[in-house]
Structure 1
Amino acid sequence: MKLKLSRAVLVAFSFIFLNLASFAQETTVEQEFEKVMQKYSAVGASVAVVKNGKIIYTHSFGVKNLEDKTPLSDSDIFRIASISKSFSATSIMQLVEQGKLHLDDDFGDLVGFKIRNPKFPDEKITLKMALSHTSSLNDSQGYLNLDIINPEKNPNWAKCYNDYKPGTKFDYCNLNFNLIGTIIEKTSGERFDNYVKKHVLNPLGLYAGYCVDSLDSNRFVNLYEYHPDNKSFTLAAAAYAPRRAEIKNYVMGYSTPIFSPTGGMKISATDLAKYMIMHMNYGTSNGVKIISKKSAKQMQTALTDDEGYGLAIRSADDLIPNVQLKGHSGSAYGLYSTMFFSPKDKFGFVTITNGINATYTGDFPDFSRAAINCLYNAFIKKKP
């Protein structure tokens, strides 16, 4: 009895010690993260950390709105900007696997009107080029509707193309992915937002979507644009515009930019981390296969040496010193989001802020860089 009691006591004390150690670690990281928040005047931020392929930490800091100072919570959802592109690319890879599309298909044939760089009229622009931003298209005329690049709708359509040969250079272009959204509709026969929900979000059990009216508006996090001249924030009211009138008159395969395949996904940091785990595991999460390992690796394989961009997944070798990561970032309406992971070592990070004083070092906001390094040092970095 004494031996059993001793073991029981030891187990109890070990449990208490581990919980106290975990509490102390979380308290420390939250104190450090608050310093990052203060340094960059952050309104709010939600974060998630994945280790050994599982979410080990989530937390929300600051407020979801400045008007009544409602605290930000882990269940709140943000419009995440360009990380949305990876959802569109994942959907395309599903259709490729089904044999309904091929990455070397003519982009114009898929969209339904001629897409050719007028300076290189004989050079085919492929779906793969659009997914990797090597299509030679640009956003100089905007990207919120397809008329701008449709020769039958816009006399200035030629301005949507750069001066170099398609497939030879990288130029980040939102128009590429709004066009890709139309291809998903034309190929699947499903409206873009419904396709992503049915074939990506629902199988992974995620509360998210592109259509504002399909989500609980009480969970939307207000986004704020910072003005350095007077150190103030203004609400970006257009971030969650429902666009009901446009949706009422929706034309399948053409009106798709209404949902912004290039930037319109709304999701929480925690659910974005669950989605990230799927890509970290090369297409499968909790036994649910979204895309094949081959497709997932193809998305993560850089097609340009200088930018390290694949198919809506890029490489980031300088976000954390001496650590190679894959993922994507986003910025719009004052929001800054990051989703980066190591498929080799099975860790990753999601950080989303709804407003900061944004300064940059390289490709990433200093806030995002500091936030990810704070989480990496606390939860992943091996202690000497």
Structure 2
Amino acid sequence: MRLLRTLAICLAATLPLPAAFAQTIDYARLDDRISRLAAQEDIVGLAVAVIDHGHIAFANGYGVTERGGTPVTDETVFRWASLSKGVAATEVAILADRHELNLTDTVSKFRTSLRLPGGGEHRATLEDVLSHRLGIVPNAYDTRLEDGWEAADIRHSLRSLKPLCPVGDCHTYQNVAYDTISEVVEDVTHSSYAEAVEESVFKPLGMVSASIGRNGLQTAPSWARPYSRRSRADDTQLKRRVNEDYYRVPAAGGVNGSILDLANYARAQMGLMPDVLSEKALEMLQTPRVYTSGEQRRMSSRYRGTVRDARYGLGWRIYKYGVNGDRVIGHRGAVEGYRSYILFDPEQDTGVVILWNSSSRRPNGIGFEVMDMLYSLPPQDWMEIDTPATGG
């Protein structure tokens, strides 16, 4: 069965684009640009796929899985980091579509460890959790997770925080609190979170190497080892042990998979697999819930106004892109030694997904160069190959 699914994915990747669609993405230029990026010292390995009007038109690996190791391919497994949040939201949307829960259900309805200031868990809904509207300081107590605390104990301790705003009023990005969703899913499905996602998302979407947890990464036939740069002055250093911290919050950072897995997942988010993700489920996920001023400032500073009106749905960021304000949806992820990226236009069924095993931010620019091609915008050096890099 695994072989058959793999063959199906590879076939989809090689199918020609429909004649009705003029090719706007210059794949020869894109491949050359990424090859040049992969040769930079701050890059170890990366994988890139482009979905072009619904078809996986480009899926390549660059660089190596580790210094001196084997080449990255389109089947090499990476950590997805915070792209895991969209997977968690997708699982909840599927359960809501089946009427097994409601987005308006409060956290207190389920057996979870989340305790918020002033008993806020009795007011906070699943929608609030998935859109980061719990009213507490951003990334609350992530340092405790990194110090070895159990995630459930950290969630219980959140009640001692001073609220920044009433529940539902402001966006403050979370990891440990967000992972409350894994407890909700387990309570509803009566199975482990990993098993539930495997049955509802990974298998139906043909994500043949996707998994949750460190073991799923390290037992893959080809997997990327983590690298990180501690400072500008230091050489890129191998983190020989894959960090377990954020695997302990699987709904926030626990997913692994190949670039082909991520491309198929992106196709589903475009509405191309309605038997798995219905139009109703996608509306739940991709409807903006809150304006994210901090994200807008970051994107405006780095990408000079290319994206605006940054908002957050359920596990997804929503922007207006370019001079025409085309609606695009995406997310970024970063965990020690790995980064990830997804950006797509759901109206054109076109987008890009990227996975890499270093702390460089430059591969994010691949996404902008692809979207600029899609919208016929003037080319810019978003990968910072021909201009000085502005940061690692």
TM over 0.5: yes
**In the superposition, relative to structure 1, how do residues 352 and 40 fare at CA in structure 2: closer, same or farther (>3 Å)?**
farther
Query: Which stretch has the larger CA shift, 322-331 or 266-275?
Result: 322-331
Residue 164 of structure 1 and its aligned partner are, at CA, apart by: 1.2
Post-superposition CA distance 1:202-259 (Å, at most 9, x none): 1111121103435633322111111334341222344365x9xxxxxxxxxxxx9736
Residue 109 of structure 1 and its aligned partner are, at CA, apart by: 2.8
Q: Which residue of 1 aligns with 2:288?
A: 302
The 8 Å contact of residues 112 and 183 in structure 2, kept in 1 or not, is answered as no
Q: Which residue of 2 aligns with 1:324?
A: 327
How far, CA to CA, are the matches of 1:238 and 1:32 in structure 2?
31
How far, CA to CA, are the matches of 2:124 and 2:180 in structure 1?
13
AA aligned opposite 2:365: A
Q: Which residue of 2 aligns with 1:280?
A: 270
**In the superposition, relative to structure 1, how do residues 221 and 186 fare at CA in structure 2: closer, same or farther (>3 Å)?**
same
AA aligned opposite 1:213: N
Q: Which residue of 2 aligns with 1:81?
A: 81
**In the superposition, relative to structure 1, how do residues 352 and 183 fare at CA in structure 2: closer, same or farther (>3 Å)?**
same
The 8 Å contact of residues 40 and 357 in structure 1, kept in 2 or not, is answered as no
What stretches of structure 2 of length at least 5 have no aligned partner?
Answer: 1-15, 17-22, 293-309, 379-392
SS of alignment partner, residue 171 of structure 1? coil
What stretches of structure 1 of length at least 5 have no aligned partner?
Answer: 1-14, 16-21, 244-255, 359-366
How far, CA to CA, are the matches of 1:263 and 1:187 in structure 2?
21
Residue 40 of structure 1 and its aligned partner are, at CA, apart by: 7.1
Aligned partner (choices 328, 346, 349) of residue 346 of structure 1:
349
Q: Does 1:97 align with 2:97?
A: yes
Q: Which residue of 1 aligns with 2:108?
A: 108
The 8 Å contact of residues 80 and 265 in structure 1, kept in 2 or not, is answered as yes
Q: What's the RMSD between the two structures over aligned residues?
A: 3.0
Q: Which residue of 2 aligns with 1:54?
A: 55
**In the superposition, relative to structure 1, how do residues 87 and 113 fare at CA in structure 2: closer, same or farther (>3 Å)?**
closer
SS of alignment partner, residue 74 of structure 1? coil
How far, CA to CA, are the matches of 1:321 and 1:235 in structure 2?
43
SS of alignment partner, residue 110 of structure 2? helix
**In the superposition, relative to structure 1, how do residues 275 and 319 fare at CA in structure 2: closer, same or farther (>3 Å)?**
farther
Residue 112 of structure 1 and its aligned partner are, at CA, apart by: 3.8
Q: Does 1:261 align with 2:247?
A: no
Post-superposition CA distance 1:336-382 (Å, at most 9, x none): 21111111111010011211444xxxxxxxx144212333456x344
AA aligned opposite 1:294: K
AA aligned opposite 1:272: L
AA aligned opposite 2:186: E
Bigger Rg, structure 1 or 2: 1
SS of alignment partner, residue 229 of structure 2? strand
Post-superposition CA distance 1:48-75 (Å, at most 9, x none): 0011111001111111101x23211111
How far, CA to CA, are the matches of 1:69 and 1:54 in structure 2?
31
Q: Which residue of 2 aligns with 1:12?
A: none
**TM-score normalized with structure 2 length:** 0.76
State the aligned residue count. Answer: 331
**In the superposition, relative to structure 1, how do residues 258 and 136 fare at CA in structure 2: closer, same or farther (>3 Å)?**
same
**Match runs of 1:1-12 below 5 Å:** none
AA aligned opposite 1:183: V
Q: Which residue of 1 aligns with 2:127?
A: 128
Residue 131 of structure 1 and its aligned partner are, at CA, apart by: 0.6
Aligned partner (choices 301, 314, 317) of residue 317 of structure 2:
314
Query: Which stretch has the larger CA shift, 345-354 or 100-109?
Result: 100-109
How far, CA to CA, are the matches of 1:320 and 1:333 in structure 2?
35
**In the superposition, relative to structure 1, how do residues 192 and 237 fare at CA in structure 2: closer, same or farther (>3 Å)?**
farther
How far, CA to CA, are the matches of 1:235 and 1:70 in structure 2?
15
Aligned partner (choices 293, 305, 315) of residue 279 of structure 2:
293
Q: Does 1:179 align with 2:180?
A: yes
Post-superposition CA distance 1:169-190 (Å, at most 9, x none): 0000012321100110011001
SS of alignment partner, residue 176 of structure 2? helix
Post-superposition CA distance 1:123-180 (Å, at most 9, x none): 7111110010011244332355111232xxx5xx434553211100000001232110
Residue 198 of structure 1 and its aligned partner are, at CA, apart by: 1.0
**In the superposition, relative to structure 1, how do residues 39 and 76 fare at CA in structure 2: closer, same or farther (>3 Å)?**
closer
Q: Does 1:226 align with 2:229?
A: yes
How far, CA to CA, are the matches of 1:382 and 1:230 in structure 2?
38
The 8 Å contact of residues 334 and 354 in structure 1, kept in 2 or not, is answered as yes
SS of alignment partner, residue 242 of structure 2? helix
AA aligned opposite 1:82: S
**TM-score normalized with structure 1 length:** 0.77
Q: Which residue of 1 aligns with 2:295?
A: none
How far, CA to CA, are the matches of 1:370 and 1:218 in structure 2?
29
Q: Does 1:162 align with 2:163?
A: yes
Q: Which residue of 2 aligns with 1:36?
A: 37
Aligned partner (choices 210, 213, 234) of residue 212 of structure 2:
210
Q: Which residue of 2 aligns with 1:373?
A: 368
